[in-house]
Amino acid sequence: WNQYIYSIYSLPRTVLGYLFATYIAPSATLDIGLQQEKKREIYMKIQPPFEDLFDAVELVEETRQLDSTYLRKLQALHKETVFKKAEDTTSEIGTGISPLPHVSKNTEYWNMVPEEYRHFNFNELLNNKLEFEHFRQFLEAHSSSMDLMCWTDIEQFRRITYRDRKQREAKSIYIKNKYLNKKYFFGPNSPASVYQQDQIMNLSGGWGKILHEQLDAAVLIEIQKHVLNRLENVWLPLFLASEQFAARQKIKVQIKDIAEELLLQKRERKIGVWKPVESKWISSSCEIIAFRKALLNPVTARQFQRFVALKGDLLENGVLFWQEVQKYKDLCHSHCDESIIYKKIMTIINCFINSSIPPALQIDIPVEQAQKIIEHRKELGPYVFREAQMTIFGVLFKFWPQFCEFRKNLTDEKIMSVLERRQEYSKQKKKMATSASK
């Protein structure tokens, strides 16, 4: 990908599709292990492709190369997991247990869930401890905790090794007594239909066997399937459609901006922003991506914008221009009406390229580049601002290490106050220079 990163605009769509299908897509032959959310994000941005299409992939690869010690720990953990899986497989063969199937999202409840939250499933919820606790409380509030408790108890049973027979027997009897009665699984509020309840009854050998003997593992797994189906197709969509869940996601977006900013600063202090190679200062792809993320982060971007304003008259506008072009790219990915996209193009041109307020060119790019945008804005398609944005990015990137050094030992509040004082001092200095010249 590094070979193509600056010529992505000329890549055939088939090549991009090949890269996605081979390394990123679900069940890819050479899956690099991106999170599902990142995979979906790349898929949504693949047409039209821009230079930041595979940023997530770049970061994953850089992270893998940065810390070999961490990698060795992961490998050791992987071996341990493989061993545990092998042990579990042995136990499941011995008890007739088959893995739980994927539960499809096929109920009308999922239609109530906002589009941006429909990628959630029960497994993701299990990995998010905070939201899982909110989900548990949500079920309690709706007097439906039994489904989650039943699923959890059967899951705990499945994780007991086959060698520990006494513990498996005790857990099986506990589950049978607590859930397989007319108050829950064989009652009117059962997660299984009457037909499914009869199937479980036949599988277990009849009511008499359920009352007096422990249940086979295969029976418990079938019960867990029905419980999971209701959890994932009734209670989970209702939870995701709730106002409380949506409110928490908005707060998380704000916290994520601040958290990314703090992590970026921590990383800068640890490994430095620049590295010397052949006596020249060059940046890694990870640093380029980090700078791009910084410009998209409202906290960092505001600070950096104020910082570069002290370095040149048009640099502050450069930050705004870069951000507006990113919004334009998002608009292209939304595949909205062409008239809306064209209106955005003209807004950017009128603000930064051909402004009615002197100077007409409000950003630091060559005049020829600006003229090309104005004359060929209809022919360049989604890449109308490509060269200009790359130019501005290069200009601003030169000031990034200075900014990182400046803010290294300052809090966010102090950064802004120091920059404001410097800006005020700069204004006073200009006034004095103007007065002296007169």
Note the pLDDT tens digit of each residue in 352-376: 998 888 888 999 999 999 999 998 8
Q: How confident is the model at residue 101 (pLDDT cuts 50, 70, 90)?
A: very low
Cα separation, 226 vs 179, whole angstroms: 13
Give yes or no on whether 113-241 and 284-432 have one common fold: yes
Cα separation, 315 vs 320, whole angstroms: 9
Res. 396: pLDDT tops 90: yes
Cα separation, 421 vs 419, whole angstroms: 5
Query: What are the residue boundaries of the structural domains of the chain, listed by start?
Result: 4-46, 113-241, 284-432
Q: Which of 371, 377, 385, 263 is nearest to 323 (CA)?
A: 385
| Residue at token pair 């309690």 | 140
Angle 214-86-164 (CA atoms, 0-180°, nearest 5)? 35
pLDDT at residue 19, rounded to an integer? 64
Half-sphere exposure of 342 (CA within 13 A, CB side): 7
Cα separation, 149 vs 195, whole angstroms: 23
Of the candidate ranges 98-112, 118-132, 312-326, the one whose mean pLDDT is the lowest: 98-112
Q: How confident is the model at residue 246 (pLDDT cuts 50, 70, 90)?
A: confident
Of the candidate ranges 213-217, 262-266, 280-284, the one whose mean pLDDT is the lowest: 280-284
Indicate the CATH number for domain 284-432. 1.10.167.10
Q: Which of 46, 102, 84, 396 is nearest to 229 (CA)?
A: 102
Structure tokens at 209: 């066997």
Res. 411: pLDDT tops 70: yes
Res. 22: pLDDT tops 90: no
CB atoms within 10 A of CB 103: 17
* Mean pLDDT across 38-61: 61
Structure tokens at 337: 């009406």
> What string of H, E and C letters represents the secondary structure of 398-422?
CCHHHHHHHHCCCCHHHHHHHHHHH
Structure tokens at 348: 């950017």
Angle, in degrees to the nearest 10, between helices 36-45 and 55-66: 140
Res. 185: pLDDT tops 80: yes
| Residue at token pair 């005020």 | 424
pLDDT at residue 47, rounded to an integer? 60
Res. 382: pLDDT tops 50: yes
* Mean pLDDT across 145-153: 92
Name the class of domain 113-241.
mainly alpha
Res. 208: pLDDT tops 50: yes
Of the candidate ranges 149-158, 294-303, 378-387, the one whose mean pLDDT is the lowest: 378-387
* Mean pLDDT across 64-71: 45
Mean pLDDT over each residue of the chain, to the nearest integer: 75
Res. 348: pLDDT tops 90: yes
pLDDT at residue 76, rounded to an integer? 55
Of the candidate ranges 104-118, 145-159, 316-330, the one whose mean pLDDT is the lowest: 104-118
Residue with the bigger pLDDT between 91 and 302: it is: 302
Percent of the chain's residues with pLDDT above 90: 22
Q: What is the pTM of this model?
A: 0.46
